[in-house]
Amino acid sequence: MSKKLKILFISPPFGEKGQMSKGLPIAPPVLEYLAGLTWKVWPDAEIELLDANKEHFYPEQVDADLVCFTVLTPQAPWTYRMADRLREMGKQVVLGGIHVTALPDEARRHADAIVLGEAEHIWKELLDDASKRKLKPVYNGGFPELKDLPFPVTNLWKTRYVYGYFQTSRGCPHRCTFCSVHNFFGGKVRMRPIDEVVREVAQSKWRLFWGIDDNIWGVNIKRSIELYREMSLNIKRKWWFGSGDLVTVQHPRADELLKYARKAGLTAVLVGWESSNLRSLEEYKAVNKQGRARRDAIKKIRDHGIEVMLFIMVGGRQDVREDFEGILKLCDELKVSAHPVMTTPFPGTELYEMYRDYLIPGLDWDSYDGNHAVFEHPTMSVEEREDLIIDLRARLFTIPKILTRMFQVSWKGFPMSHITSWMIQYPQGRAFNEFARQRLKKKANMERLQVAK
């Protein structure tokens, strides 16, 4: 190593046009992990982590040899602007993440180097090159096995968080048209050794976690039961939530799975309901992951003391106006919450290619955030769909409804599942309301401008 290397890792903001928001109560997972990976291959590196959702970022104040951004699609415009300014100042900039892998030619215009795929195999080479200011344009990390991964570094944040994270696998066995996970992680699912996962969580300073697996139990139910059994035996007084499918909960061993999941600290799960419209489910290739009895599966999860939230997309080209109202009725019937998002065809997905001819021209990537309608619909306008989802969210996340759902969770999960239910639902409703206020303010400003003209 020729010199000390100063590295700044940045998690870009999700706010429209890069406006700083309150952000999530979860420490940005990729940054903590990259810090651990960096110290594994370059132990003397000086590392700074910055979450631009919670902290102001001023490029002119950066004191680093290398600035690294991990980029999701709605974060791309802000990231590109900041990267361009940093490069004008002579800073070396590296971009990675799902959006960069999906659109490498676009990302290369704003970076000294881009990382495609995962970083483990190429990170030392990249840092060696950065120390000499001889970065290559592209580093292709491929899809390494997940043994002996470094643990996340959790003590570098300037701001406070409620949740940490852990990961036990990468990839998902399903191939939904709207999701980039299958392609991004190499078309197969890889799993970490169970003992390494248990040791990482047990040693972590966090008490509350986000399990960031794309499917916390749908990869291999036998392995999931073994993992949760080991976690329940070796990790005490730590709790977590994650995302999973519904078909796995209809497996003959589902009760065993859920029993050990709760004992391992699982308090809530976001399940992929995707849509109540069969034509949309077929378009998303998400029928098989629902199973034959998905309503019974939701009841089974809650009966085990685990809170349930439905991930639902609405406003797709197969959807009709009644599907928006149907989500509220569904949640009232099942006594669960939902995370309703506007159907969004992300680049790199099959749905993006299916919807390409219908995409609204002139939109930047920060409109691809699950709040905006970004394509033409056969019967509903952009404004109508956005009004409908705002109204749905406002009615879904009233305080009385949140409390009613919270107390419907089985007392087997008391008190943490009930506490988690509130901790997830209330901030989510507040964030949705803030988006609605910002949209109303934007519309009022546009109307004033038109009147002035």
- The DSSP-derived string for 260-284 is HHHHTTEEEEEEEEE-S-HHHHHHT
Q: Which two tokens stand for residue 167?
A: 């990961």
Amino acid at 267: T
CATH 3.40.50.280 residue ranges of the chain are 6-140
Q: Which residue is listed with tokens 């955030």?
A: 369
Q: Which residues contact 114 (CB under 8 A, 6 or more apart)?
A: 94, 95, 96, 100, 104, 107, 108, 137, 138, 139
CATH class of segment(s) 163-437: alpha beta
Write the DSSP string, 118-141.
-STTTHHHHHHHHHTT---SEEE-
Instruction: Output the tens digit of pLDDT for each of the chain's 453 residues.
Output: 446 899 999 999 986 554 445 556 888 999 999 999 999 999 999 999 999 999 999 999 999 999 999 999 999 999 999 999 999 999 999 999 999 999 999 999 999 999 999 999 999 999 999 999 999 999 999 999 999 999 999 999 988 899 999 999 999 999 999 999 888 888 889 999 999 999 999 999 999 999 999 999 999 999 999 999 999 999 999 999 999 999 999 999 999 999 999 999 999 999 999 999 999 999 999 999 999 999 999 999 999 999 999 999 999 999 999 999 999 999 999 999 999 999 999 999 999 999 999 999 999 999 999 999 999 999 999 999 999 999 999 999 999 999 999 999 999 999 999 999 999 999 999 989 988 888 888 888 877 777 776
pTM, full prediction = 0.93
**Tens-digit pLDDT profile for residues 386-411:** 999 999 999 999 999 999 999 999 99
For residue 368, give the DSSP letter: T
CATH 3.80.30.20 residue ranges of the chain are 163-437
Spell out the alpha helix ranges (H) of 358-415: 382-396, 399-406
Question: Strands, DSSP E only, in 326-426?
Answer: 337-342
CATH class of segment(s) 6-140: alpha beta
Residue 272 has φ and ψ, to the nearest 5°, of -80, 90
Pick the closest to residue 408 from 260, 266, 309 (CA basis).
309
Q: Which residue is listed with tokens 């809170």?
A: 307
- CA atoms within a 13 Å half-sphere pointing along the CA-CB vector of 38: 23
Residue 374 Rama label (left phi>0; alpha psi -120 to 50; beta) = alpha
